[in-house]
């Protein structure tokens, strides 16, 4: 039902075909995020037409709304959101982190630049979660009800959602956590990995284990060894990083993972990071970055990021990108998109999202092509030189 | 360049082909409103795929944002918004009414039910406009700058926008205005009609005159005679009505208009009103009703209006309408749409808009078919019996 076939390697970077119950995913691939069973502003036809055959939905969001039981009753995520290709669901661990350290440490997927040294000054922000060895207690941000999420619950919810690739429940630590805390947390994540494996029954789902361990080499290596020794279909690299640390973590961890199994990088989608992650052996990545940028009027192009509300685009007849085949670039000028954003027209967000995802899809195709023809390094250099 | 060919008449209702510089519009037709050069939430391909070949954009909104000069510079509305079919622009008169009596009289296109007798109690709401015989002074709701709009300005702006069918500048009175005021206003509208005709130069645009006169038979008849005697390509029926009065106004006015010229009903789009307007000889109508309803989660179906947020749809696997061919009904369940609206996902608004416009397009096709085969009255009765 699952088969991961490596096609070509160049250094640690590789292309592969990942067979799933809902079709073949060609990697390295960027996986658009369909948070609540929709890639924000787009319908499934839009996403397919752009060229993607896979999306990642968020367990945390869907368990709260509409609830995994309801999704199951409706025939599972594929049917519910009209998606015929492979679907990933994350474990909910990262969203729980966002409700906890994400708030008290004021951090996110990539560490904020102005807070790189030491522990950020604490303010009145309070964690909304309580972590114990059994799981995490938190309140729904929608209706305030108390929820206790154990690894077994995360797996059950992901089984009900019915994605092809699911993740073990983990704790994501903050770059501002003390090493002692990260050690304790890693123990928990490892215990939860075993619980997740034991709880998982569906044969048509591949369960991925998640490597954690903060920015510490010894902890990351310990985690890489521990998780890769378990009977997972594949692996996720989790964490909240500094920019530099993300690369180090991959350098420390990837060589410890079995070559023949797929590797997913959770929540990474900035162009420069994608190149570095792929170069280090990552097969798939998901991130809200390109879609969120689009909704806020930032367009990706081969020469960098464009803020479409900039006054210089007001009378600009050109498309966002000359040779782009997306709906926006084929039909509309920069001036029209500028107008849509200025006038708060929802269509602007949709067109910008379509463009940014088209850009990502094209980039990943180019990356695969250049791995296959042995020119990845040159391509990366050339691309990033122009992309400023 | 323009040719209006009546195909079939049954009573006053009629089907026709209206040739414009951007193709043939088959009537009776509903014209979706593309307020600021987009039918809200949709791109032009969406609207085309639904089956529409014509839209109406708002002069008032576009003159403020992005400005008619800019649209002209970008090659005109057709190019700017990627629309190859006929475009209408209104004159701005109705939006100016909304800033004036729409506020002080708390009224809109159709008189509010709770305010049917006499003048509504005045409150602190203040008119934002000043009307003189030369034109209207108002402040932009966007940047507060003062604007003076004369009939000549409205025509110039509409020439710059470049629609196929444009309207003379008029004053829309309120159902709560005294007859004396409406008389004076009508004089103004008639004078502005002549000024509009004189100012209009572009040969590739058809200028429509607008009949006003409130709810008074003598004034409506006077206006019908006056406007139809001028050299307009076609006619619009304007006004802010009571439900009953809309029908009376059409009965009084339509027989006075030349049979061989097209007639547009401004701002009418409630299903029951459409049937009554078409029955009385209206060829085209525009309204934000179906798109606005969609964005707020009300879906049109052959059995009436559905509030998708109603709890009964939470686990409903059925499509909105069984035989509907729209993107929403082909791909998604009521439960999915319920979820999208509950979760505030923008996609919900887009899918509901697509469905409602598909419904309108299908309704108008059925109306045309049933006029052509002589069964309009039976169709109307049958349709409205089911539509509750």
**Terminal-to-terminal C-alpha distance of chain A:** 42
Q: Does A351 touch chain B (CB under 8 A)?
A: yes
Closest C-alpha among A176, A207, A195 to residue A133: A195
Q: pLDDT averaged over chain A?
A: 94
d(CA A88, CA A98) in angstroms, rounded, equals 20
Q: Cβ of A40 and B346 within 8 Å?
A: yes
CA B155 – CA B91 distance, rounded (Å): 8
Closest CA to B257 of B216, B210, B213: B210
Q: In what order do the strands lie in the sheet with A13-20?
A: A3-10, A13-20, A23-27
pLDDT digits (tens, 9 = 90+) for A36-59: 999 999 999 999 999 999 999 999
Which positions in chain A touch B314 (Cβ < 8 Å)? 66, 70
**What CA dihedral angle connects B355, B361, B363 and B367, to 10 degrees?**
180
Query: Is A80 in Cβ contact with B37 (below 8 Å)?
Result: no
Residue A229 and residue A225: Cα distance in Å, rounded? 6
Model pTM score: 0.95
Tokens describing residue A245: 């640390």
Count of CB pairs separated by less than 8 Å, A with B: 110
Handedness of CA B37, B39, B45, B47 (dihedral sign): negative
pLDDT at B340: 98
Check: CB of residue B207 under 8 Å from CB of residue B232.
yes
- Per-residue DSSP letter, A382: H
As a whole number of Å, the CA-based R_g of chain B is: 20
| pLDDT given for residue B123 in this prediction | 52
Angstrom distance (rounded) from CA B382 to CA A98? 56
Residue B304: DSSP 8-state: E
- Scanning B27-46 for CB atoms below 8 A from A yields 36-38, 40-45
Tell me if A317 and B74 make a contact (CB, 8 A cut-off).
Answer: yes
Residues 6+ positions from A387 with CB-CB distance below 8 Å: A271, A302, A303, A304
Q: Which residues of A touch B42 (CB under 8 A)?
A: 347
Give the C-alpha separation, B51 to B115, whole Å: 38
Residue with tokens 């309704």: B363
Q: Using the Cα atoms of residue A235, residue A239, residue A245 and residue A247 in order, give the sign of their dihedral.
A: positive
* Minimum CA–CA partner of A67 in chain B: B339
- Chain A partners within 8 Å of B38 (Cβ): 340, 345, 347
Nearest to A147 by CA among A137, A132, A156, A157: A137
**What is the set of domains in chain A, with CATH numbers?**
3-287 (3.20.20.105), 295-380 (no CATH)
CB contact under 8 A, A41 and B66: no
Beta-bridge partners for B31: B286
Q: State the DSSP H helix or E strand holding residue A190, giving kind and residue range, or none if neither.
A: helix A179-199
Helix and strand numbers (H, E) in chain A are 16, 16
The alpha-carbon gap from A130 to the nearest alpha carbon of chain B, in Å, equals: 26
Gap from B334 CA to chain A (nearest CA, Å) = 10
Best B37, B345, B354 member to test A by mutation, with max A CBs in 10 Å, is B345
| Ranges of residues in chain A whose predicted pLDDT is under 70 | 110-125
Q: Collapse the DSSP code of B108 into the 3-class scheme (helix H, G, I; strand E, B; otherwise coil) and give the result.
A: coil
Q: How far apart are CA A165 and CA A364, in angstroms?
A: 20
Q: Nearest CA to CA, how far is B287 from chain A (Å)?
A: 18
Subunit contact A70:B314, Cβ cutoff 8 A: yes
Contacts with B387 (C-beta within 8 Å, 6 or more apart), sequence order: B271, B302, B303, B304
On whether any CB of chain B is under 8 Å from the CB of A296, the answer is no
The angle formed by the CA atoms of residues A28, A34 and A40, to the nearest 5 degrees, is 120
CA distance A275 to chain B (A): 31
Q: What does each of the 388 residues of chain B score in pLDDT, given as a tens digit?
A: 999 999 999 999 999 999 999 999 999 999 999 999 999 999 999 999 999 999 999 999 999 999 999 999 999 999 999 999 999 999 988 888 888 888 888 887 766 554 444 444 455 567 888 999 999 999 888 888 899 999 999 999 999 999 999 999 999 998 899 999 999 999 999 999 999 999 999 999 999 999 999 999 999 999 999 999 999 999 999 998 877 899 999 999 999 999 999 999 999 999 999 999 999 999 999 999 999 999 999 999 999 999 999 999 999 999 999 999 999 999 999 999 999 999 999 999 999 999 999 999 999 999 999 999 999 999 999 999 999 8
The pLDDT, as a whole number, for residue A111 is: 65
The answer, for A350 touching chain B at a CB cutoff of 8 Å, is: yes
Residues of A annotated as part of the active site: 90, 286
Is-cis flag, bond preceding A258, omega within 30? no
CB A235 within 8 A of CB A257: yes
The pLDDT value given to residue A147: 92
ipTM more than 0.90? yes
| Residue A115: strand, helix, or coil | helix
User: What was the pLDDT predicted at B111?
Assistant: 65
Residue found under tokens 């205005």: B177
């Amino acid at each position: 039902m699952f088969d991961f076939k490596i096609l070509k390697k160049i250094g640690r970077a590789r292309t592969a075909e990942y067979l799933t119950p809902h079709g073949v995913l060609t990697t390295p691939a960027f996986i658009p995020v369909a948070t609540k069973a929709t890639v924000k502003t787009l319908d499934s036809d839009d996403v397919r037409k752009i060229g993607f055959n896979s999306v990642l939905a968020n367990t945390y969001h869907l368990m709260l709304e509409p609830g995994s039981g309801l999704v199951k009753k409706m025939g599972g995520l594929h049917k519910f959101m009209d998606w015929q290709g492979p679907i990933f669901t994350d474990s909910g661990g990262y969203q729980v982190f966002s409700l906890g350290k994400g708030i008290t440490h004021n951090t996110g997927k990539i560490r904020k630049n102005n807070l790189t040294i030491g522990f950020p000054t604490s303010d009145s922000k309070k964690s909304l979660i309580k972590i114990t060895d059994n799981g995490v207690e938190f309140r729904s941000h929608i209706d305030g009800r108390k929820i206790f999420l154990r690894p077994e619950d995360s797996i059950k919810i992901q089984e009900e959602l019915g994605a092809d690739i699911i993740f073990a429940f983990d704790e994501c630590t903050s770059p501002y956590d003390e090493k002692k805390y990260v050690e304790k947390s890693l123990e928990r994540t490892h215990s939860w990995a075993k619980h997740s494996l034991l709880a998982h029954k569906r044969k048509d789902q591949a369960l991925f284990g998640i490597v954690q361990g903060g920015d510490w080499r010894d902890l990351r290596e310990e985690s890489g060894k521990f998780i890769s020794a378990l009977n997972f279909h594949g692996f996720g690299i989790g964490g909240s990083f500094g920019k530099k640390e993300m690369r180090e973590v991959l350098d420390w961890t990837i060589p410890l993972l079995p070559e023949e199994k797929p590797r997913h990088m959770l929540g990474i989608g900035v162009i420069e990071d994608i190149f570095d992650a792929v170069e280090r052996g990552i097969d798939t990545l998901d991130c809200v970055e390109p879609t969120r940028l689009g909704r806020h009027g930032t367009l990706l192009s081969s020469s960098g990021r464009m803020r479409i509300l900039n006054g210089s685009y007001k009378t600009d007849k050109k498309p966002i990108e000359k040779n782009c085949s997306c709906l926006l670039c084929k039909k509309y000028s920069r001036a029209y998109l500028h107008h849509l954003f200025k006038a708060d027209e929802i269509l602007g967000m949709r067109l910008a999202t379509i463009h940014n995802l088209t850009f990502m899809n094209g980039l990943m195709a180019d990356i695969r092509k250049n791995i296959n023809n042995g020119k990845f390094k040159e391509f990366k250099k050339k691309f990033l030189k122009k992309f400023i």
